[in-house]
Amino acid sequence: MPARLFKALTFFTLLLSVVSARADFEQAVENYNAGDFSAAFSEFKKLSQDGDPRSIYNLANMYRKGEGVEADAEQAVRLYRAAAERGHALAQNALGVMYAMGKGVEPNDIEAYAWFTVSALQGNPEAKENADRARELLSNQRRASAELIARQYFENYVGRLEAPE
């Protein structure tokens, strides 16, 4: 098979899978909004197995709320972390909330502040508010530790953090 034809077929196959995944995600959202949590859960679960951070985040929300599945805060935390580590800003904020509240995980103000900060750096206004509130509760030493962790998380899961000029 000529290389150009192989590349074209590979591109077309990839394009079809992306379009299909997008349609599946939109169907899952429609099912969720219609209150068909069982169907939404199944679709989000399928898509999350392919690593889609939006689906992982939505699945985490469903575990946290007990929608279409028995409520499981620990599973919600695991899924929020998986989506957060794929750069999903809403999941990063939600993970921070779980750490701040001690839901499904031991309370940890440093982790909460770090995840709020990573999400806020991506433009999430709710995370900015959460980070501001969390910052007030941290000593200078604990805040410095949390900021170092946030920087590492950002660089590992989002991208390079540029130094201010």
Model confidence over 85-122: pLDDT tens digits? 999 999 999 999 999 999 999 999 999 999 999 999 99
| pTM for the model | 0.83
Q: Which tokens hold the place of 61?
A: 């929300």
Confidence band for 83, pLDDT divided at 50, 70 and 90: very high
Model confidence over 31-81: pLDDT tens digits? 999 999 999 999 999 999 999 999 999 999 999 999 999 999 999 999 999
Q: Which tokens hold the place of 99?
A: 């750490």
Cβ within 8 Å of residue 24, ≥6 positions away: 43, 46, 47
Model confidence over 101-111: pLDDT tens digits? 999 999 999 99
Sequence spans of domains, the chain: 1-71, 88-158
